[in-house]
Amino acid sequence: VISERIKEIQKEGEQGRRRIQRWSRWLTVFLGAGQAYGFTVLFQNTNPAILPGLDWFQRLSIVLVLTAGTVMLMWFGELITEYGIGNGVSLIIFAGIIGRGPQGVSAVFSAHSTGGGLADYLPFIIFGGIALVMTAVIIEVQQAVRKIPIQSAQRVTGGREIGRRASFLPLRVNHAGVIPIIFAISVMFLPTIISNYFQGAPPDTWYYKAAAWIRGNFTPDTANLPMAITYNALYFAFTFAFTYFYTAITFEVTEVADNLKRYSSFIPGIRPGRPTADYLAAVMNRVTFAGACFLGFITVILPIATAKISGIPHQQMYLGGTAILIVVGVALDTMKQLQTQLVMRQYRGFIR
């Protein structure tokens, strides 16, 4: 995806996969160490009582411990992927969201409970109803595909002619999954994270004032209405753009067209080769537009609408649209792999 060299390594089979996996592990270690150091400095600036003045050895120890925790999670994820069912890292994230669910709901309820009987439960009933409806909608969108008809040319096998077989190529509406949202969140949080490093700066400096302005205004729920509109518009735009970007680098229309041509398959009415790639790109762009709008709605419009209807601030919504999207996506992928394992077990006698 990043370069032609990596693309060539991906085509080397198992050996290429192991090389890329080894590079990914080292990259995870370096990123984990950088993030650990950043959080150490951040906690020192925002909450000096938690981490008072640290010498270089104490800071190094904290960074090593946090990095070791990242490596252990990566190792657990690989073990789950290898010996379990589903993607290990995704299942760890899934378990974290589900495991903290009761505690998050309890904390929100305690913050909004006034002892008013049914009135205390009404916002949660409304929020629960919206969450159930959105879960059903997300399931439908996650499973929605645009079927491109495919036909296989007539072939001769074993002295017999095999006629044309009709099938289809599924193009997922939300091909990118939750990755564009993660990218967009990282970009939108970056100014606030950087501004937190300057909390310990002298108050009369320009960068301290700029950082304070960013922390107070560059948020989705700021009282500054123009900045709130700007923030949410940028959030939607980044989610929309990253959806197209990630889809483009993970669904290579030229490679799909070459594979169809290699196996003597074609799209009715479309010539093999470059015309097929252009047709698939045009269809995928239209399908991705719907998926990008859906992800933008989940990340920006849904939390605002839910907060207005239920009265619960969207920072306190533990199961927001993004969390539901992650949970539903992981659950659906795990169910598909379970079904595949059950089918293979059913036909294991024939395979032997």
74: number of Cβ within 10 Å: 18
User: What's the CA gap between 32 and 39, in Å, rounded?
Assistant: 10
Instruction: Give all strands of the β-sheet with 165-172 in edge-to-edge order.
Output: 165-172, 145-152, 265-266
User: What's the CA gap between 60 and 147, in Å, rounded?
Assistant: 54
Along the 352 residues of the chain, how does pLDDT read in single tens digits? 556 677 777 777 778 778 888 888 899 899 889 888 888 877 777 777 777 777 888 889 999 999 999 999 999 988 888 887 777 888 888 888 888 777 777 776 776 666 656 666 777 778 778 888 888 998 999 889 999 998 887 655 555 555 556 688 899 999 888 888 888 988 988 888 888 778 777 888 888 888 888 888 888 777 788 888 898 899 999 999 999 999 988 888 888 888 888 888 888 888 888 899 999 999 999 999 999 999 999 888 888 887 777 676 666 666 677 788 888 888 888 888 888 878 777 776 655 5
User: What's the CA gap between 195 and 189, in Å, rounded?
Assistant: 10
pLDDT of residue 158: 55
Task: Show the tokens assigned to 298.
Answer: 């989940």
User: What's the CA gap between 325 and 303, in Å, rounded?
Assistant: 13
Q: Which pTM value belongs to this model? A: 0.80
What are the structural domains, with CATH classification, of the chain?
A: 1-84 (no CATH), 144-317 (1.10.3370.10)
pLDDT of residue 165: 64
User: What's the CA gap between 93 and 333, in Å, rounded?
Assistant: 14
159: number of Cβ within 10 Å: 5
Contacting residues for 277 by C-beta, under 8 A, at least 6 apart: 253, 254, 256, 257
